[in-house]
Copies of this chain bind each other. A is one copy, B any other.
Amino acid sequence: MTEARRPVKKPPMREVLAEAAFQLFLERGFERTTVDDIVARAGVGRRSFFRYFPSKEDVVFPDHERCLADMTALLDAADGGDPVSTVCDAARLVLRMYAANPEFSVQRYHLTREVPGLRTYELSVVRRYERTMAEYLRGRYVGTPDGPLHAEVIAAAVVAAHNNGLRSWLRSGGEGDAEAAVDHALGVVQEVWGAKDASAAGPAADDDEVVVVVASKGTPMWRVVQRVEAALAED
């Protein structure tokens, strides 16, 4: 058996296409760039483009498919623990994908803001993350009253919080601390919906321990929640 060494001869066509497409999108805009323009710059046949990307929009989000798979794997592997906390970890997976390529993410952000077709496409991508999280939560909440409802509301809240933190980082040009922004945003959701990490924080406090909260009537609920949360967090 003669094994021929195989030095990587060509850069993968997928990357060549994505690179050429992104350059053109930045130069002329998404809508004024045709698929023929892309394949011309990439020096390949038109048919090849659609072999690697099912649509022109897909080339703008080349890594989401893998990230969604990662999230599914993370949730499948998650055992016990606060469901909301687990889902927040799943959201952080998406953030890290963005943070891995700051300049690309920022450019894509501006591109997506301007092109309605890309905004819509991004929505469908985000929706898949949300559904994945909601599915996981639904499994964790079986038997509890309004389990599916809670699952969907919490997933939506987590996604909204994540996106808020992510966008504020993207608006800053990728300069600030993305993790911190998202952690803070997710914290707001966890304060309200999370079971608090009592069960995960070492020896759980006795169930007999109690906290007392005093509030005046009419206080906005999330203020009450913040105080309750603070009280429950005390050690």
Contacts and interface: CB of A to CB of B under 8 A. Distances in A.
B157 A163 contact: no
Given A196-B221, A214-B212, A188 B150 contact: yes
Interface stretch (A4-12, A88-96, A197-205): A197-205
Most buried by B among A149, A195, A204, A211: A149
A139 B101 CA distance: 33
A14 to B, nearest CB: 23
A196 B218 contact: yes
A172 to B, nearest CB: 14
A207 B213 contact: no
A84 to B, nearest CB: 8
B156 A159 contact: yes
How many copies of this chain? 2
A185 B153 CA distance: 9
Contacts of A142: none
B188 A215 contact: no
Given A120-B123, A123-B124, A214-B212, A149 B199 contact: no
Given A123-B127, A152-B164, A222-B193, A217 B205 contact: yes
A213 B215 CA distance: 9
Given A149-B161, A222-B150, A217 B192 contact: no
A212 B211 contact: no
Interface of A: 119-121, 123-124, 127, 146, 148-150, 152-153, 155-157, 159-161, 163-165, 185, 188-189, 191-196, 198-199, 204-222, 224-225, 228-229, 232
30 contacts: A119-B124, A120-B120, A123-B124, A146-B188, A148-B164, A149-B185, A150-B188, A150-B222, A152-B163, A152-B164, A153-B164, A153-B188, A155-B160, A156-B156, A157-B160, A193-B221, A193-B222, A195-B218, A198-B217, A204-B218, A205-B217, A205-B218, A206-B217, A210-B215, A211-B217, A212-B212, A213-B213, A213-B215, A215-B228, A221-B225
